[in-house]
Chain A
Amino acid sequence: MAPFNPYTFIQCPCSDSSPLGRPADSNSPTGSEPEEDERTFDPRAPRSNYSLYPLEYLLYCEDCHQIRCPRCVSEEIVTYYCPNCLFEVPSSNLKSEGNRCTRSCFQCPICIGPLNVTTQETKPPDPSLLTAGNAPHSGAYALTCSYCNWSSTEIGIDFDKPNGIHAQLAKIRNGGEPRLTAKERKERRKELSHRGDSAAVVAAREEIDGQALDLENQFANLKAFYSSQLADPSAGDNGLSTLGDLGFSSPSSLSRIMSLYTGGKLNDNKAKSRLGAMREALTSDEGLLVTDLDESALISQLHLSDHCDTASTEQITNQPPNLGEPLLHGASRFTSSLRPIPYLLRTKRSKRCPVCRHIISKPESKVGTTRFRIRLVAGSYIPSITIKPLVLPNPSGGSSSSNVGDLLTPLTPVHYLLTFKNPIFETIKVTLATPAATPGRFASKVTILCPQFDIDANTDVWDEALKDNDRGDKSSRSSGSHTRQRRGTEAGLQLEVGKIWERGRNWVSIVVEVVPASLRLEDGGMLREDEDVLEIAMFVRIEWEAENGGDDAGISSAAVGKDRDQKEKRELAYWCVLGIGKIKQT
């Protein structure tokens, strides 16, 4: 079993349907208001999963003075780039080329490792050939995966040039046959029709028609066909238009429907309303694709193949849509029909506060840099909470030796140290509250021994650095201890209610006593998922005095306030969940 690491999750206020401190008025009778006020947060509620985040994932809006989570911020894409070649892709290319890298970056269709272009070794490696700069002949390059040794030659694809693989691949089908794009197909046909009707030309035309349409070509053909139909409404008028005005097959009704969505003028189209119905595509040139329902070839191929020859669901879903899929039906059942996957592009995104629309995180637009122009993370505004088991050396011998990751013994009190670290440059006053028993079927008892305390300000970082240097010179462990006040040790390791356990420059440790519940069920039922995890919901309220306007942490981007002397009282309150450990099942 994986060891249990204590964790602290913080609830983002965005998921709270009713604002804190105010009772929900819509769905609660007025009589229960005081009860509503004492409403506590249940970490086991199904919805809680979606509102709890580790501190690192949270941002902070300086204008709203509120925590923002990944779920409530709105994102804007700053840059698109390929994660493999790290080239930026302009958004104009994105519209025409799609959201994948069009250079030579591909992933293996079998294992999704990266593919690289290699020369195919046709001759044995011979040192005497070192100087012979033999020009690579056609088909000299292939894509190979250095993780699973897959090679594009397995699906009959090789390349003439080592660059521009994406363009080359678009012209080759699996097996090495050339693949015509819709445009090429049309040009080829036009060329043939100019040459007359000799037997060779007819054969060549049949060859073009014989090539099965793939999804891309079919769509292109259909689109061309229908747009020509719309442009030329008289074509294909079959005289039934007077009856078929309501049908969807007439260009007029189609354009009327389209205008409903695009907001075009309806009256304009009324003029054409008497025009006839469109005809449907009739040839493959127009995008007609006769579905081949005869799958006996596939079935016989399945009979002959191993399990490993068939593509897994994951492999199929990783395949880029449309690219060279032979048919709409029966696509990619075998690994031999999989194609190299061009890398999906990645983005750099900036984030906005959902309420005030201020930007709270903005990376530099260049792909290579990792700096941020704006980065208002919650970690530099609200205290971090770390959990550590507190081991009390018990004189009677029965020491509660609890390590991180150990299972908690039911009904035996254990103590945990919660260390709060203040990131801001003001002294903060922290008030904690927690329900005396955890919610759920197994109520563990929780007592915070010191629910109210002050944490000193986070002084300048240079003070800390200088202090550390001093400490390093003396190179003794004890010299650092004058900065700390070990109340616990001074008091002879006695737990005192209302006393801080230990405090440092900008941090305070307090003790929480937990009596884990017994996980025994009377009816002998089974535990539900994660019911043995002891989670404590804790309400944290921070108060501090901030300089008016000028904001609290060093990375503030807001304008400096006019009257700096004036202090303003601020407070922030939120729920958090402390994951303490797992209770032993007896």
Chain B
Amino acid sequence: MSRRPPRGEYIETDTGNKVARKATLVGTQNIMLGGKTVIQPEVMIRGDLVRSIQSSSTSSSGGATPNNTAVAIGRYCFLSRGACLRPPGRLYKGAFTYMPLRMGDHVFVGPGSVIQAASIGSHVYIGARVVVGEFAILKDYVRVLDGTVIPPNMVVPSFTIVAGQPARVIGEVPEGGHEAFELRDLYKTVGNNPHPAPA
């Protein structure tokens, strides 16, 4: 720690993750980051909410190490200030258990949003103050506008724009709008030595 004389706001890992020192990561051993992911201050990731019952297939095989990942995040994800990732939980065979939360690449989570989805695809934009209910599934190229509440168990198919409380489909992502989901440039603008945003 003391090797780096000026303590930056972010911890930058070998795989390019930029994790704010002021972010709250609980149960870090259960959180997987794919690399080049930005976690801003005041973000909370609940890695401690790990699956308590192993699925029958893995428990029967016995010797296999239990898969304890609670939150899996792909590459180039961006978790804005105050976002919260929380694995969803439910009754499974009579007992309560949490299920892992999976997130693809290039997922933007806006400030103050709470995510309890089962899975989020790649190239997903989630606006500010959004609530994604438990076990919701967001496919690829989905745009969630600010303030949306996605009810639990909802499936949002690819190329969908949703908004409202509860969320409803309000439009389709146009063919030319795919590149706007890329977060490579946004990744460069934060960190201890941020580059200015490109023109």
Binding site for B on A (CB under 8 A): 55-59, 70, 81, 83-86, 111-114, 116, 127, 129-130, 145-148, 346, 351, 361, 367, 370, 372, 375, 377-379, 386, 388, 419, 421, 468, 471, 475-477, 480, 502, 504, 507, 509
Between-chain CB contacts (< 8 Å), 11 pairs? A111-B151, A113-B154, A114-B151, A146-B152, A147-B152, A346-B157, A378-B176, A386-B199, A477-B193, A477-B195, A504-B199
Tally B residues with Cβ within 8 Å of A: 33
Q: A55-B176, A83-B160, A146-B133 are in contact. List 12 more A-B contacts (CB 8 A).
A: A56-B176, A56-B177, A113-B154, A114-B153, A370-B141, A370-B158, A377-B175, A386-B199, A471-B195, A476-B193, A477-B193, A502-B199
Q: Would you give the shortest CB distance from B38 to chain A, in whole angstroms? A: 15
Q: Would you give the shortest CB distance from B168 to chain A, in whole angstroms? A: 6
Name the prevailing secondary structure of the A interface residues. mixed
Within 8 A of A (CB), among B164-182: 166, 168-169, 174-177, 179-180
Nearest residue (CB) in B for A362 is B175
Binding site for A on B (CB under 8 A): 93-95, 133-134, 139-141, 149, 151-160, 166, 168-169, 174-177, 179-180, 188, 193, 195-196, 199
Please report the C-alpha to C-alpha distance between residue A81 and residue B157 in the assembled complex, in whole angstroms.
10
- Say yes or no: B177 contacts A83, CB within 8 Å: no
Q: Would you give the shortest CB distance from B40 to chain A, in whole angstroms? A: 20
Q: Would you give the shortest CB distance from B61 to chain A, in whole angstroms? A: 22
- Say yes or no: A56 contacts B174, CB within 8 Å: yes
Please report the C-alpha to C-alpha distance between residue A186 and residue B155 in the assembled complex, in whole angstroms.
40
The one of A58, A386, A504 in contact with B176, judged by C-beta atoms closer than 8 angstroms, is A58
Please report the C-alpha to C-alpha distance between residue A367 and residue B159 in the assembled complex, in whole angstroms.
11
Please report the C-alpha to C-alpha distance between residue A477 and residue B179 in the assembled complex, in whole angstroms.
25
Q: Would you give the shortest CB distance from A8 to chain B, in whole angstroms? A: 13
Nearest residue (CB) in A for B149 is A147
Q: Would you give the shortest CB distance from B76 to chain A, in whole angstroms? A: 14
- Say yes or no: A375 contacts B199, CB within 8 Å: no
With a cutoff of 8 Å between Cβ atoms, the chain B residues found around residue A86 in the complex are: 139, 155, 157
Task: Give the 7 A-B CB pairs with smallest separation, nearest first.
Answer: A147-B151, A377-B176, A56-B176, A56-B177, A130-B94, A113-B151, A146-B152
Once A113-B166, A504-B199 are accepted as A-B contacts, the answer to whether A85 and B155 lie under 8 Å apart by CB is yes
Q: Would you give the shortest CB distance from A133 to chain B, in whole angstroms? A: 10
Please report the C-alpha to C-alpha distance between residue A85 and residue B139 in the assembled complex, in whole angstroms.
12
- Say yes or no: B95 contacts A130, CB within 8 Å: yes
Please report the C-alpha to C-alpha distance between residue A471 and residue B193 in the assembled complex, in whole angstroms.
11
Please report the C-alpha to C-alpha distance between residue A465 and residue B171 in the assembled complex, in whole angstroms.
34
Please report the C-alpha to C-alpha distance between residue A477 and residue B195 in the assembled complex, in whole angstroms.
6
Please report the C-alpha to C-alpha distance between residue A24 and residue B70 in the assembled complex, in whole angstroms.
66
Please report the C-alpha to C-alpha distance between residue A414 and residue B32 in the assembled complex, in whole angstroms.
49
The one of B141, B155, B174, B175 in contact with A114, judged by C-beta atoms closer than 8 angstroms, is B155
With a cutoff of 8 Å between Cβ atoms, the chain B residues found around residue A367 in the complex are: 157
With a cutoff of 8 Å between Cβ atoms, the chain B residues found around residue A378 in the complex are: 176
Nearest residue (CB) in B for A377 is B176
Please report the C-alpha to C-alpha distance between residue A243 and residue B149 in the assembled complex, in whole angstroms.
67
- Say yes or no: B157 contacts A83, CB within 8 Å: yes
Once A86-B155, A370-B158 are accepted as A-B contacts, the answer to whether A379 and B166 lie under 8 Å apart by CB is no
Please report the C-alpha to C-alpha distance between residue A116 and residue B176 in the assembled complex, in whole angstroms.
35
With a cutoff of 8 Å between Cβ atoms, the chain A residues found around residue B154 in the complex are: 113-114
- Say yes or no: B168 contacts A112, CB within 8 Å: yes
Residue of A146, A386, A476 most packed against chain B (CB within 10 A): A146
Q: Would you give the shortest CB distance from A56 to chain B, in whole angstroms? A: 4
Please report the C-alpha to C-alpha distance between residue A355 and residue B35 in the assembled complex, in whole angstroms.
47
Q: Would you give the shortest CB distance from A72 to chain B, in whole angstroms? A: 14
Once A146-B151, A147-B166, A471-B195 are accepted as A-B contacts, the answer to whether A129 and B94 lie under 8 Å apart by CB is yes
Nearest residue (CB) in B for A388 is B199
With a cutoff of 8 Å between Cβ atoms, the chain B residues found around residue A370 in the complex are: 139-141, 158-159
Q: Would you give the shortest CB distance from B130 to chain A, in whole angstroms? A: 14
Please report the C-alpha to C-alpha distance between residue A59 and residue B174 in the assembled complex, in whole angstroms.
9
Once A113-B166, A477-B196 are accepted as A-B contacts, the answer to whether A57 and B174 lie under 8 Å apart by CB is yes
- Say yes or no: A112 contacts B176, CB within 8 Å: no
With a cutoff of 8 Å between Cβ atoms, the chain B residues found around residue A112 in the complex are: 166, 168
Please report the C-alpha to C-alpha distance between residue A475 and residue B193 in the assembled complex, in whole angstroms.
7
Please report the C-alpha to C-alpha distance between residue A346 and residue B156 in the assembled complex, in whole angstroms.
12
Once A85-B155, A86-B157, A147-B152 are accepted as A-B contacts, the answer to whether A56 and B180 lie under 8 Å apart by CB is yes
